[in-house]
Amino acid sequence: EAQVTQNPRYLITVTGKKLTVTCSQNMNHEYMSWYRQDPGLGLRQIYYSMNVEVTDKGDVPEGYKVSRKEKRNFPLILESPSPNQTSLYFCASSLLAGTGYGEQYFGPGTRLTVT
Amino acid sequence: SQQGEEDPQALSIQEGENATMNCSYKTSINNLQWYRQNSGRGLVHLILIRSNEREKHSGRLRVTLDTSKKSSSLLITASRAADTASYFCATDARGNNDMRFGAGTRLTVKP
């Protein structure tokens, strides 16, 4: 079954404690992306990757890191989480379809609370 | 900053009625996509329309794109209670590799 998986689904942590949210896709997609969703703000892109070893900043990259060592995995790293990073996080992937992006497949989301 | 803005922010209709949501964006685009999100869950792709297309259909969905006005609309015909969800438009701008989503329209379909 084609899918994007994220782990963990729920996480409560304390300020400053490094954490990693994993994302994996089984569709051989070139493009992967991380978003955060906050009430009233829709989805905002954090980082994206066009292929292995190619990553770029989205709209709100501050406080986050990513890596793309393998095509299927795109972990999101919070080196020193702060309460303003409390949010719902989504990973997504898609093929690069000629001009522009194709349909994005989204993971189920990770609800992060930083106290 | 957000590229797309949906209008209205919230819409409440009776089952069987049509629902129309609009999306406006700021820059030239390659594609525009519409997604649905049930409360707190991952987004589900509904339809993609390319910048050289004006209208597209998929089942009860009809999407239009007006690049001169930088706007798109999503029409859901004969709505059902199961259509209750938030709907988002997303664009990838020409010359830019990022994806931008609007804040969404919250649709409630009453049985």
Backbone angles phi, psi at B27, to 5 degrees: -120, 170
CB contact under 8 A, B97 and A90: no
Chain B nearest CA to A43, separation (Å): 6
Chain A nearest CA to B93, separation (Å): 8
From B34, which residue of chain A is nearest by alpha-carbon distance?
A103
Average pLDDT value for residue range B20-26: 94
More confident residue, B18 or B98: B18
Q: Tell me, what's the pLDDT at B93?
A: 79
What's the full length of chain A, in residues?
Answer: 115
A1 Cβ contact list (under 8 Å, min separation 6): none
**Is the distance from CB of A11 to CB of A31 less than 8 angstroms?**
no
Task: Tell me the pLDDT tens digit for each residue of A81-105.
Answer: 999 999 999 999 998 766 667 889 9
CB contact under 8 A, B101 and A88: no
How does strand B55-58 pair with strand A31-38? Answer: unpaired
> Which of A44, A56, A88 is opposite residue B97, by nearest beta carbon?
A56
- For residues B90 and B37, give the distance between their C-alpha atoms in angstroms, rounded to a whole number: 13
CB contact under 8 A, A59 and B101: no
CB contact under 8 A, B45 and A104: yes
- CA neighbor of B99 nearest in space, from B9, B21, B32: B32
CB contact under 8 A, B44 and A41: no
Chain A nearest CA to B87, separation (Å): 10
Contacts of B100 in chain A (CB under 8 A): 45, 59
H/E stretch holding A91: strand A87-94
Q: Tell me, what's the pLDDT at A40?
A: 80
Average pLDDT over chain B reads: 91
**Is the distance from CB of A67 to CB of A79 less than 8 angstroms?**
no
Question: Is A115 a residue whose pLDDT tops 90?
Answer: yes
Question: Is A47 a residue whose pLDDT tops 80?
Answer: yes
A80 Cβ contact list (under 8 Å, min separation 6): A15, A16, A18, A63
Q: Tell me, what's the pLDDT at B3?
A: 59
Q: Tell me, what's the pLDDT at B41?
A: 87
> Which of B2, B41, B45 is opposite residue A108, by nearest beta carbon?
B41
Q: Tell me, what's the pLDDT at A3?
A: 94
Q: Tell me, what's the pLDDT at A96?
A: 77
Q: Tell me, what's the pLDDT at A97?
A: 63
Dihedral (C-alpha) B33, B45, A56, A18: value to the nearest 10 degrees? 140
B73 Cβ contact list (under 8 Å, min separation 6): B20, B21, B22, B23, B63, B64
CB contact under 8 A, B104 and A56: no
Average pLDDT value for residue range B41-46: 92
Task: Tell me the pLDDT tens digit for each residue of A13-45.
Answer: 999 999 999 999 999 999 999 999 998 888 999
Q: Tell me, what's the pLDDT at B6?
A: 81
Residue B100's pLDDT band, with cuts at 50, 70 and 90, is confident
